[in-house]
Amino acid sequence: MAQPMYHQIADELRGRIEAGELAPGAQLPTELELREKYEASRNTIRDAIKRLTSLGLVETRPGQGTFVVQRIDPFVTTLTGELEAGRAPGESAAYLTEVSDEHRTAKVSAPRVEVQVPSAEIVGRLRVEPTTQVVSRHQERYLDGIPWSLQTSYYPMEFVTTGGALDLLKAEDMKDGVVGYLEEKMGLEQVGYRDWVTARTPDLNEQNFFKIQHDATVFEVFRTGFDQHGTPMRVTVTVFPADRNQFIINVGKVPPPEYNVEA
Amino acid sequence: MAQPMYHQIADELRGRIEAGELAPGAQLPTELELREKYEASRNTIRDAIKRLTSLGLVETRPGQGTFVVQRIDPFVTTLTGELEAGRAPGESAAYLTEVSDEHRTAKVSAPRVEVQVPSAEIVGRLRVEPTTQVVSRHQERYLDGIPWSLQTSYYPMEFVTTGGALDLLKAEDMKDGVVGYLEEKMGLEQVGYRDWVTARTPDLNEQNFFKIQHDATVFEVFRTGFDQHGTPMRVTVTVFPADRNQFIINVGKVPPPEYNVEA
DNA sequence: GCAAATTTGTTCGTATGTATT
DNA sequence: CAATACATACGAACAAATTTG
């Protein structure tokens, strides 16, 4: 037994999926059928299918069966070039839409605004004292009705208390963007930002919102915006499920993309 | 039974790991011990541990036991700002070392050079005819002896045949970088590049090289370099295991990082 | 709307194989 | 070689979700 049986079964099914014989959305044979076909026990069949689910190739639905996953046409976010707008990653939906696909419709939830004591992660990036409070603005983003990203921005509380940027506490979407508002209100200009991209597994909230498995992967992008004094003025944390998101970074002189390179 | 037993067991173990009670490298109780502790069958215990493995929290070693994973101090690659050097992501080890940690020692294998018919992925990005050949230069990269990335660069075959850049076929590391060589030899200047970042599961070769599970995650970065005419001059594909790699993108005026923000 | 049939999910028990100490 | 610990594989029973009649 060079390869265990459940590996072999999984590999054959994977081959049939990648060859297109089992198209996206198609139902795999039931456990009982596979059991007869491969003359294996039910547990062995289930081990094989578990391998495919862990690769994100299939999904099982209790009471229904196992199905080849429908791959979502990936959403492509350009992390560079949003400086003028001073937006968080994925915020300028118009531009992004152009990059990835034509007819996507973006939807954003009303922000959930909170005043809170920041986590160590935010303290380090926003460079505030651990005891001070910060304003957090959280939004859920959809594209074509599909959950696309979860985003939370953090601002120093002084922006409200001594800076007079009272609208930061308003639970309303800011049409011209928060950065424009802060410039108008406080003379703060975002002259640059640093994105920090990591990957991890989703927490429970993210699993539920994105409808992804506990062992799926999400990108976590920390964007720290800097003002004209080189001081961090806000930190935005955006979480993207990796199965439907990609990123572009343009540096120097780069021609516009002529077409989507995906096969 | 709100939650199945193997979820509860996994959650409790996860809690003990995240609380530091089970430190990185520490051995978990054996299956037999856990079986007695939770009064569950061996299969149930194994299901619980499988959940932790799929989260990348623990790893099991046959004949030894189950151990909390040793998290590698992440390697941080800056995707912007390498324009002058015209390097592929992670190539300018000196700079990267500065960003992430102090005393890392980079090592690169000698390139494996091939002349081949490009895949559709490369054809689209390098904008060559599907029938023409390309030069590929493949390298394995290590940091502190740990496999860090796999990188393959593709160049149009004309660079050799009509451009006279014969050294492209030499299986030697180019000290001053390929981009510098092409500028000197052919007057080709890389004036910009586009990085395309995606995530996927590793293929067999990558599993073996990085010593990662079949359901782990790797970043795949496609870098397309453009010359002064706006024509793609090379495509570099770099694969990074997500458990030990992060990325930074700087846009606009950004102060140097004062310290590593990780807690 | 309900009952039956189908399908996957959870849990147990048992046996044997393989890797490491 | 023996003991220990995980890996594979089988069989069985009941539960939960969904579809079908």
CA–CA distance, A112 with B160 (Å, rounded to integer) = 58
Q: Which CATH number fits domain B5-68: 3.40.50.2300, 1.20.120.160, 1.10.10.10, 3.40.120.10?
A: 1.10.10.10
CB contact under 8 A, A121 and B261: yes
CA angle B16, B17, B19 (to 5 degrees): 65
- pLDDT number for residue A161: 94
CA distances from B166 to B129, B158, B170, B185 (A): 21, 10, 8, 9
- CB contacts under 8 A, B 80-119 vs A, are 80-83
Q: Where are the alpha helices (DSSP H) in chain A?
A: 5-18, 31-38, 42-54, 93-100, 120-126, 158-161, 178-186, 204-210
Q: Does B163 touch chain A (CB under 8 A)?
A: no
Of B255, B87, B66, give the one whose Cα is nearest residue B178: B87
- CA→C1' distance for A153 and C9 (Å): 39
User: Which nucleotide comes closest to B65 if you measure CA to C1'?
Assistant: D5
Percentage of chain A beyond pLDDT 90 is: 76
The label of the residue with tokens 């590929």 reads B136
CATH level 2 (architecture), domain A75-248: 3-Layer(aba) Sandwich (3.40)
B54 touches strand C (CB under 7 A): no
- pLDDT number for residue B95: 39
* Strand D nucleotides within 7 Å of a protein CB: 3-13, 16-19
Yes or no: say if A153 and A169 are a contact pair by the CB < 8 Å rule.
Answer: no
User: Which nucleotide comes closest to A65 if you measure CA to C1'?
Assistant: C7
Q: Does B230 touch chain A (CB under 8 A)?
A: yes
- Return the SS3 of B224: strand
pLDDT digits (tens, 9 = 90+) for A142-174: 998 899 999 999 999 999 999 999 999 988 888
CB contact under 8 A, B253 and A191: yes
pLDDT above 60 for B100: no
Of B98, B86, B9, B91, give the one whose Cα is nearest residue B45: B9
Instruction: Point out the residue among B193, B257, B262 whose CB comes nearest to the CB of A254.
Output: B193
Instruction: Point out the residue among B56, B79, B252 whose CB comes nearest to the CB of A191.
Output: B252
- CB contacts under 8 A, A 197-226 vs B, are 197-199, 201, 214-215, 217, 219, 226
Give the mutation candidate from B247, B248, B259, B260 for the A interface (greatest A CB count, under 10 A): B247
Q: Does A120 touch chain B (CB under 8 A)?
A: yes
pLDDT digits (tens, 9 = 90+) for B115-172: 999 999 999 999 999 999 999 999 999 998 899 999 999 999 999 999 999 999 988 8
Q: Does B124 touch chain A (CB under 8 A)?
A: yes
Q: Cite the residue boundaries of each domain of chain B with CATH code 3.40.1410.10.
A: 75-248
- CA→C1' distance for B62 and C21 (Å): 11
Stretch among A156-160, A197-201, B184-188 having the lowest mean pLDDT: B184-188
Which pLDDT band holds residue B90 (cuts at 50, 70, 90)? low
pLDDT above 60 for A96: no
pLDDT digits (tens, 9 = 90+) for A113-131: 999 999 999 999 999 999 9
Q: Does A263 touch chain B (CB under 8 A)?
A: yes
Q: Cite the residue boundaries of each domain of chain B with CATH code 1.10.10.10.
A: 5-68
Percentage of chain A beyond pLDDT 70 is: 88
- CB contacts under 8 A, A 38-67 vs B, are 51, 54-56
CA–CA distance, B95 with B87 (Å, rounded to integer) = 12
Of B120, B93, B84, give the one whose Cα is nearest residue B193: B84
Which pLDDT band holds residue B174 (cuts at 50, 70, 90)? confident
- pLDDT number for residue A263: 37
pLDDT digits (tens, 9 = 90+) for B77-87: 999 966 555 55
- Return the SS3 of B115: strand
The residue that minimises its CA distance to C1' of C14 is: B42
pTM of the model: 0.91
B2 touches strand C (CB under 7 A): no
